[in-house]
Amino acid sequence: MPVTLTSLPEQSALHTYVGEGDFLDCYSVPSNMPARPAAAIITAFPGWARALLQVRRLITAPFGLSQDGPEAEDKLGPFPVELDTGDEVIAGFDDKHLNFRVSVCSQGGRVSLATWVHPHNTGGRLYLATIMPFHILVVRNALARVARADLGATPA
């Protein structure tokens, strides 16, 4: 299934976060999977992505950045869930260098994964620029796993 770069769905609550100078991207795949199960697949990172997160932890620990996100009753992976409408799940948190949220939206036979980032300072902008190539790989892989799972195949 092709993963497509797209616009944030019109009904997404993530629109309320976006301001001048913020980063926002959105990718989608054909899928009828509800948002919450899709989000669970997306945050069940494969081994290579978990290894990247370990490298991130080693590099960012001296700067006091959050390693596993804040405590919360409802989390998807390391991300506290902020909103779950059934059609959309938004999770993420605010950190010293940036605020970020991810949205998983299921509508009209597509699942979309959007990422919003609001850098606070030069460190946040540098961090975002550094991780961008990895971000795109992780997002595209995550949505490909959603599409395969929706077709009944085993996620990789």
pLDDT at 141: 94
12: pLDDT strictly greater than 90:
yes
Does the residue 156 lie in any domain? no
Does the residue 95 lie in any domain? yes
pLDDT at 115: 97
The domain that holds 97 is classified in CATH as 3.30.530
**Number of domains making up the chain:** 1
Does the residue 60 lie in any domain? yes
pLDDT at 131: 87
pLDDT digits (tens, 9 = 90+) for 38-89: 999 999 887 877 777 777 677 666 666 655 666 778 988 888 999 999 999 9
In angstroms, the CA 28 to CA 7 distance is 9
Burial 1-27 (b: 16+ CB within 10 A, else e): eebeeeebbeebebeebbeeeebbbbb
Does the residue 94 lie in any domain? yes
pTM of the model: 0.86
Does the residue 39 lie in any domain? yes
Residue 56 backbone phi and psi in degrees, to 5: -60, -45
Q: What is the residue-averaged pLDDT of the chain?
A: 88
Q: Which domain holds residue 46?
A: 4-150
Does the residue 79 lie in any domain? yes
pLDDT at 155: 45
pLDDT at 95: 86
